[in-house]
Amino acid sequence: MKVHLCVVGRLKKGPEKALLDDYLRRFDKTGRGLGLSLGQVVEVEDRKGGGMAAEAELIRARLPGAVFWVMDERGEIMTSPEFAERLGAQRDRGIGDLALVIGGADGIDPGLRADAGSAISFGKMVWPHMLARVMLSEQLYRAASILAGSPYHRV
């Protein structure tokens, strides 16, 4: 299963981008033997002022046929092993493309949220999108490590 990361806004070169790239590379390396790999990193920007709905359309257009999970502070709170299990279950169901979406300043489009297979929260506090994408990339690497039985996750 290819796991795609969809984000609103572009991340410039800097410490967050370096961390993001490192965790995504680790996820891909650890996941490949488990049937999980990194797909596209889709960064969208709507310059016409269409807001969340336009951003969601740009994301859908880039990944037709993908299952979407949205990251949302009002979503489901889960442990890292539960997240890993859910990722593994999607793979085992034969899903080819899973797109994980992080919203922009206004959050996630309600239509995309309604269509999403899961809405996942990192906790009730709101984080800026550039940190949220780093946190998600780390959880992907952690999830692959848990599924691989490697000692990275020790709790």
Ligand X SMILES: C[S@@+](CC[C@H](N)C(=O)[O-])C[C@H]1O[C@@H](n2cnc3c(N)ncnc32)[C@H](O)[C@@H]1O
Which residues sit at the interface with ligand X, rule CB under 6 A?
71-73, 102-103, 105-108, 121-123, 125-129, 132
Q: Is 49 annotated as a binding residue?
A: no
- Asked if 59 contacts 6 with a C-beta cutoff of 8 angstroms, the reply is yes
Residue with Cβ nearer ligand X (29 or 126) = 126
State the nearest-atom distance from the C-beta of 41 to ligand X, in Å: 15
Q: Look up residue 103 and give its two tokens.
A: 């919203």
Q: Which residue number is nearest to ligand X in terms of Cβ? A: 103
Q: Is 122 annotated as a binding residue?
A: yes
State the nearest-atom distance from the C-beta of 80 to ligand X, in Å: 14
Measured distance CA(48)–CA(58) in Å, rounded: 12
Residue with Cβ nearer ligand X (123 or 149) = 123
State the nearest-atom distance from the C-beta of 135 to ligand X, in Å: 8
Which residues fall within 8 angstroms of residue 122, CB to CB, at 6 or more apart?
Answer: 71, 73, 132, 135, 136
Residue type, 82: E
Q: Which residues of 95-113 are buried (b: 16+ CB within 10 A; e: fewer)?
A: bebbbbbbbbeebbbeebb
State the nearest-atom distance from the C-beta of 59 to ligand X, in Å: 12
User: Which residues are documented as binding site?
Assistant: 103, 122-127
User: Which residues are documented as binding site for S-adenosyl-L-methionine?
Assistant: 103, 122-127
